[in-house]
Amino acid sequence: MSILPQLMADTRLDARAAARPPAPVAASLRRAPHDGAPTTLPAPAAPRAALHDVLPERTAIRDYARTPLSGADLSALFAAADRMDTRGWAADRAAGVDLELYCAAWRVTGVDTGLYRYRPGRSELCRVADLPDGREAEELVMQREFAEAPALLVITGNLAAAVARHGSHGHRLLLTRAGAAGHAAWLAALRLGLAGTVFAGLLPSALRERAGADGYHRAALFAFAAGHPIPDLGPRS
């Protein structure tokens, strides 16, 4: 059978599967998260500007001031990302198709340099691994300027669970969810007077070595780099 008929056959199978009520994901497909030493985050910072005032000025910023992020600002970014996923994909979350939010922190008040997993129910970060800083940190990302951001919000998802529940459409749905969560964090950052951009995230090898991201039970999906803009720096997109 040639490739096109095979793809069409697979699509029809996925369509029939999608018409059936999705079943909960088997426990064997869920990978237990890392639970390192916790760091409790402050309550999320309140927005400092209305969305309609800052949205027209949104642009991708990839150069950041050395000013650290406050723990409250970081808390607000993660809360916004998790809230978007909770509201939009509650059924998938209940069935065991989860997104995991990570933080690569370099300059965050009250948070040591390292890679952390965000625990939304407790509003805390659990340490997963050490991270290098300075020039060594540039080896973790495709574009070195992202290693200059105070923090990266990195989104992973359980591709195995998504495919078990939705067929091959599960990957697309995971990417949609991650994109929505990442952009929610971006909008929250704008309302706090911060800047940043969405991008692909840490290199797969960096996530595999530090967070056990095997690309299937834990697959890298999306990321958002956040920081304070450099004063008087013109827009860069």
Q: Where in the sequence is the domain holding 191, given as residue range(s)?
A: 53-227
Q: DSSP letters of 190-218? A: HHTT-EEEEE--S-HHHHHHHH---SSSS
Residue 21: other Cβ atoms inside 10 A: 5
Question: Residue 29 pLDDT > 70, yes or no?
Answer: no
Q: Helix 169-191 vs helix 159-166: angle between axes, to the nearest 10 degrees? A: 120
Indicate whether 38 belongs to any domain: no
Indicate whether 28 belongs to any domain: no
Closest to 156 measured CA to CA, from 234, 87, 105, 103? 103
Strand ranges in 58-193 using DSSP code E only, listed in sequence order: 99-105, 114-119, 124-129, 151-157
Indicate whether 26 belongs to any domain: no
* pTM assigned to the model: 0.85
> What are the backbone angles phi and psi of residue 148, rounded to the nearest 5°?
-90, -10
Indicate whether 180 belongs to any domain: yes
Task: Convert the pLDDT of each residue in 51-95 to its tens digit.
Answer: 999 989 889 999 999 999 999 999 999 999 999 999 999 999 999
Indicate whether 41 belongs to any domain: no
Residue 104: other Cβ atoms inside 10 A: 30
Q: How many domains does the chain have?
A: 1
Task: Convert the pLDDT of each residue in 38-51 to its tens digit.
Answer: 999 999 999 999 99
| CATH number, domain containing residue 135 | 3.40.109.10
Question: Residue 28 pLDDT > 80, yes or no?
Answer: no
Task: Convert the pLDDT of each residue in 148-196 to its tens digit.
Answer: 999 999 999 999 999 999 988 899 999 999 999 999 999 999 999 999 9
Task: Convert the pLDDT of each residue in 103-150 to its tens digit.
Answer: 999 999 999 999 999 999 888 999 999 999 888 999 999 888 899 999
Residues 51, 54, 58, 60, CA torsion sign: negative
Indicate whether 1 belongs to any domain: no
Indicate whether 134 belongs to any domain: yes
Q: Does residue 100 contact residue 78 with C-beta atoms inside 8 Å?
A: no
Indicate whether 58 belongs to any domain: yes
Q: Does residue 81 contact residue 178 with C-beta atoms inside 8 Å?
A: no
Closest to 175 measured CA to CA, from 152, 151, 197, 201? 201
